Amino acid sequence: MTATPPSHPGLEPLFDITELAEYLGVPLSTIYDWRTRGLGPRAYRFGKRLKFALSDVRAWMEEQREATPGTPSSDRG
């Protein structure tokens, strides 16, 4: 996997939308769809650019975890 944001002392790693799609193993169109539907991890907007903090991505991932195997954690549509 090549989506490794550069590290800067004191700054949390940020993914751009392409890196996020690669990190999660989903098509870029899925990320855009999630954004349109109000799903997916929170993002920072810098002008026209979206950036996703690694901590927000991990927190969002944890919310997606099944409560028990085979059971959705919530009704995400």
User: Is beta strand 14-16 parallel, antiparallel or unpaired with respect to 44-46?
Assistant: unpaired
Q: How far is CA 54 from CA 30, 72, 77, in A?
A: 18, 23, 24
Question: What is the mean predicted confidence (pLDDT) over 12-31?
Answer: 96
Convert the pLDDT of each residue in 28-46 to its tens digit: 999 999 999 999 999 999 9
> From CA 11, how far away is CA 34, in angstroms rounded?
26
Q: Are 50 and 44 spatial neighbours (Cβ–Cβ below 8 Å)? A: yes
Q: How far is CA 51 from CA 26, 31, 47, in A?
A: 17, 12, 11
Residue 68 pLDDT class (50, 70, 90 cuts): confident
